[in-house]
Structure 1
Amino acid sequence: MFPRVILKGTMIKKSQQKKRTSPSNYKERFFVLDTQDLKYSERRPGKKPMLKGCIELSRIKCVEIVCTDVPIPCSFKYPFQVFHDSHYLYIFAPDNDCRQRWVRALKEETKYNNLVAKYHPNFWMEGKWRCCQQTEKLAAGCHVYDPEGCASKKPLPQLPDPETELQDLGQQWVIALQDYTAIGDDDLSLQKDQEYLLINSSHSDWWSVQDDRGCSGFVPCTYVAEKYGNNFERFEWYNKHINRGGAEDLLMKEGKEGAFMVRDSRHAGVYTVSVFTKAPGSNGEKNPRVKHYQIRQTETGRRAFYLAEKYLFSTIPELIHYHQHNAAGLITRLRHPVSQGIRCSQEAADLSKDQWEIVPEELNLGQELGSGQFGLVLEGRWRETRVAVKMIREECMSDDEFKEEAKVMMKLSHCKLVQLYGVCTQRSPMCLVFEFMENGCLSDYLRERKGRLSQNVMLGMCLDVSEGMSYLENSNFIHRDLAARNCLVSSDNEVKVSDFGMTRFVLDDQYTSSHGSKFPVKWSAPEVIKYSKFSSKSDVWSFGVLMWEVYNEGRLPYENRSNSEVVESLNKGLRLLKPRFAQDSVYVLMEWCWKEKPEDRPSFALLLHELASISDLTTS
């Protein structure tokens, strides 16, 4: 008798990381649940799906939603977990209804199994359970597992007494600093910049709010800010009783680029942002110092706060949240909040202690492969695996900047991105260890095979890059240095995006570089050249230039022109000419990437769709 299919659909799975050092990755899979197994397959255009995994239902010990406040680095934002044998499979559904259907169905099919008594409601990350901080992956859970229940709820404070609510607050409003997805039935989803009525704020971590439809629920208190108020004590960046000198002493002692705090000014009701920087002075040498910026208010119209006049915010927490990810006129981004008595460095993950740290003795270095902005790239062997090792020049990047780049790389995992295997901080110079790409950088690959690449191969290269960039776009990352030289080619001629040294995580799809930032003019959009404003749409412009490089077999764009001549041509509306090997439909996409206004350019998701359509036409 054949098993009966119960559910099927497309979701995203995360690597089970059975090996301690294996990188996280998120892959789209087609899941099928029947009365015997949970299977998932890779769909391949024009080919039969390839089975990638099969879990017997009888081996499943727990199925539950994952309650977490960490950013979800893939496009599906609703995780649930399947614990089987000694492995955890994390699956990400496109919406909460879909997640509930799968959890209910799996629980129903496994409720008579040999189940766990307790489970972990949060992720296993960075060598520990986020819910209970246990460092053994197979440690007993910390919450009672209910095999009959639909989905567990995050433990929340008791509902406040209605009479107390009305006496407490009255009509007080808050603004969402960022999106929040409701996890339990008592939660309420937040949408960034939307206003909510504050019902109760008596709990230290969870506040009760109501949206404009009358729906109410709990939200993390640090995700919202009072529209009219100055209750900052719950934010780690606020230091109430510290003067200018004390702030300078504390930040200089911290000594980390972008270390900052918000403090009371001498004038009542006025606040100052103090930030540490090592930015070079007028003589070009590093100049460690603390800069102070008074938070100002607009004098006319609606009340708004600002540090740089073009960037106005309704509340101070909104302003700080924005500048933590965007310098926007400041000497540096507000990177590391510092509090009195609490060293910021204690909060940052120590890379030498987590699963990404590579033991120096396990890493053997070989010949030089090339050099980049931050140092040499060497071939190497790590545990019998051929790798590329990016050495960091000590004078080019501080320890903190290195760790920041590593953290960025660790958040990103896709088959069209060069994968980071780990970091080595216990040797000098420190280094990043990547997967080895046998055919080197794309620009050299194109030049070496000049005259031997078909249009279909060139189109496939552009498809590869657009797929990787679409993932970055969906994950709210911008690359800032996309070019053929920063893409690598594998042994089977697959192209992957590399070099994320300039990548930034952005909240509003925009990054304004701090003073003195350099960028490659011939790959840069007009708004980057004029205002140093980067976004996914400036990456799209660079992708258009990369397509031009591919279809010109590695030729440099504007190769006989200086940077100033290129800027002059762009200001006149001139663009790169159509490459000889590019179909008209491909050049139309290039021109679309080079629209003057960022909002007129396509997204990477749309570019990927259009390139795939061209590919379908050429292969049919």
Structure 2
Amino acid sequence: MNSIILEEFFFKKSQQKRRTSPCNYKERYFVLSKAELAYFEHRPGKKPNLKGAIDLSRIKCVEIVRSDILIPCNFKYPFQVVYDNYCLYVFAPDKDIRQKWVCALKEETKNNNTLVPKYHPNFWVDGRWRCCFQTDKLAAGCLEYDPNQNASKKPLPPTPKDTRRLFSDPGELVVVALHDFIPQSAQDLMLYKHEEYIITDQSDPNWWTAQDKNGDTGYIPSSYVIEKSPDNLEAHEWYNKNITRAKAEQLLFNEDKEGAFMVRDSRHAGLYTVSVFTKAHGSNGENNPRVKHYQIRVTTCGETKFYLAEKYTFNSIPELIHYHQHNAAGLITRLRHVVSSGREKAPMTAGFSYGVWEIEPSELSFIQEVGSGQFGLVHLGYWRNVNHKVAIKMIREGAMSEEDFKEEAQVMTKLSHPKLVQLYGVCTQQAPMCLVFEYMESGCLSDFLRSQRGSFSRETLLGMCLDVCEGMVYLESANFIHRDLAARNCLVGENQTVKVSDFGMTRFVLDDQYTSSLGSKFPVKWSAPEVIHYSKFSSKSDVWSFGVLMWEVYNEGKMPYENQTNGEVVKALSSGLRLLKPKLASNLIYQLMEWSWKERPEDRPSFTLLFHELAELAEL
């Protein structure tokens, strides 16, 4: 394939090229190259099946779709690709990803000879354009098309420059606070759970400017709020995003209450499942504790309706849940007790406050030494008060390039995701320099696996791999390379949640034995061939390392190539040998490992594709 620019899972609307074609929405894996926009059907364990391709030279217009209609799929941010006499509607999971693709597509097509002077900013629905009400599908557009607007050769950066700008969508963005937030500096704004706020600036992805009901403004962590919308499930306590079937069952059994329930993402993207616990009697008359899973279904014709039992349909999922909380109506029991995974605990923030990444030494309290790492000792401590537990890494002199790290620290603090260990900031005003991180109770993944060996279910091991892969999808999308992904560089927290740590840190290591592939400390056993031979790092070399990490997980912390030297490993890899299948790994899991260990980087999957494959296996 030609040089790939972008890859992403999206939903696409059927183009209904024939009058009798049904209207539907299907998930497809989109690949933008220098020559074409192609999309593939995802088939678990099989090679993706090409479903369509558009030569870039045929594209007449690429633009965001602005509409007020209900979008009946999980991805709510549409854009359009107009080509020949057709319009392809694509639905992205968020605004940033949509903007990245629109910019990239515009850049690649801005010099096409067939560009339209005007385009339709709204959908073609029910035989007319919603923007100008013309009934001819091929009618000229009603808004001037600017092929150069927002065009950029590069995708949007993960950490925008700190130039404040208003968000571009018309109208006010109203959000609801999911958690209380206590200001950490004079520039922050207090948040009260369940109260509404108006967002006036969201140029920084992690810290937005908000206005409260009294007219006061300040910075708030974006992860603490959710857009106010009747269709936004994340505002509800019963919704558990990205939780596996096995994890849902574990939480519901732990609750052990009749009618304990949650709503979670289904294994089929864009759909949802209600999981409910019951002690209803079995056929033998005895209690039979179990979890039932009901997929929330959507009507296929006419107005969009949601239902669990066909006789009871509703305009929205919250209405459906509210009804079944009071009526079983075809379910094994009514939905009585909400079970939520981690919703009571506020998420980590990118830094303690907006723009503050240098931490005062006097604000840190050292409690006890909890370990030692590549750079020095690690202490459990507190920031400012006993309520904010942190991990403090003390950097021993000569261990890393401190000046280089200081230059990058501000960028690294802005990398924020639930499956990354958050770097809060640095303390450089005294020696030794300290790095302040989120504290993870159960320590590094490799030690945790070894200490609990024999107690893990296969579902739990798969969940650990999913956690790591999810964090790496974020780093991949931010064009950030980890360079040293391994179980020793992942940490375990509450509910056995695994997070990726020490991303990008090897850039600052001054130890020649660690940075040279000839050194005994170099992580050869986790390194891709192009890293060993040419020091060529990329997201695809991270994918190779992730394959080895999966092997570690399914061997419960065993050292890869345990009895071989680095030299022997390099020789074995060059001859095509790979790690053997772990006993706890299924054939499909091992196939993903083998896919990650392809000799050529371009033959390896992206983290996005790997996550989708793992999610299918976990029946998300």
For normalisation by structure 1, the TM-score amounts to 0.45
For normalisation by structure 2, the TM-score amounts to 0.45
